[in-house]
Structure 1
Amino acid sequence: MGFRDGGGDGGGSGGKEAALTLDAVLETLGHRHRRTLLRLFRDRSTRAVDSDEAVEYLLERERRRPGETPSRDHLQITLLHAHLPKLEEAGLVAFDADAGEFRYRPSERIENWLRFIEAEHGFGE
């Protein structure tokens, strides 16, 4: 199947980035799991992560939060059926279903918002 993407040059400088309205940015960054996934991508030099690695990273972050920790299965399902599709729709990831790997397509606008959120609310929110 290969990577699906919404067009552009794969570098985040064209394609869907221009279409990211304020509402789209806020919706994309509106869930902590999507913000956490974007931080994971940002920290990886390859910018590619498989679903198991992403679930483990989310699970580790959730264990640090107060309250009940979601199960690995729950995180896997929401990752594949909610969060990745939302990031893909925004043009921020290309997902290879055959390899179970997805690659970050950096967006300067999203990066700026993430830095603002981290400065105001820290990494954990």
Structure 2
Amino acid sequence: MSHSRSAPTTDALVALLADRRRRTVVRHLAERPAESSLETLVETLSPANADPADERELRTALHHNHLPRLDEAGLVEYDAATHAVRYRPDDRAESLLRFLAEAFDD
């Protein structure tokens, strides 16, 4: 898992959370104090009765794109070897997520 990093700039945070999947990941992790996993996130983000090919695409996108970006920004710690994910609380990110949810029914 990653080491401590400086907080992302406001512009970087807005750009990072502009993606629906990343917003969902951060919301999911913020609601749970325990470590999560890549598989749990795939289950959370996949619609009911999802096609296995769609789940594979989602797993790949999370592993190679979304989780590394969130890790680099310091919002999560992602261990690519074990697929363990842990949220790193961030008041600014949570405020932005609340605003987006209220303003845009996100």
Shorter-chain TM-score tier: 0.7 to 0.9
Q: Is residue 76 of structure 1 aligned with residue 73 of structure 2?
A: no
Q: Find the counterpart in structure 2 of residue 21 from structure 1.
A: 9
Query: Which of structures 1 and 2 has the bigger CA Rg?
Result: 1
**Cα deviation per residue 1:86-116 (whole Å; 9 max; x = unaligned)?**
1011101111233211100011111110110
Equivalent positions of 1:1-125 (< 5 A) are: 3-5=1-3, 7=4, 15-17=5-7, 20-46=8-34, 48-60=35-47, 71-122=54-105, 125=106
Q: Distance in 2 between matches of 1:81 and 1:98?
A: 12
Point out where structure 2 has 5 or more consecutive residues left out of the alignment. Answer: none
**Cα deviation per residue 1:65-90 (whole Å; 9 max; x = unaligned)?**
xxxxx700110010011100110111
**Cα deviation per residue 1:21-61 (whole Å; 9 max; x = unaligned)?**
22101111010000000111012131x21110001111038
- Cα RMSD (Å): 1.7
- Asked if the contact 2:36–2:84 (Cα under 8 Å) also holds between the matched residues in 1, the reply is yes
Q: Distance in 2 between matches of 1:50 and 1:38?
A: 13
Runs of 4+ in 1 over 4 A off after TM superposition: none
Q: Distance in 2 between matches of 1:60 and 1:86?
A: 23
Q: What's the TM-score once normalised by structure 1's chain length?
A: 0.75
Q: Distance in 1 between matches of 2:40 and 2:47?
A: 11
Query: % of aligned pairs identical?
Result: 35
Q: Distance in 1 between matches of 2:63 and 2:80?
A: 10
1:121 to partner: Cα distance: 1.4
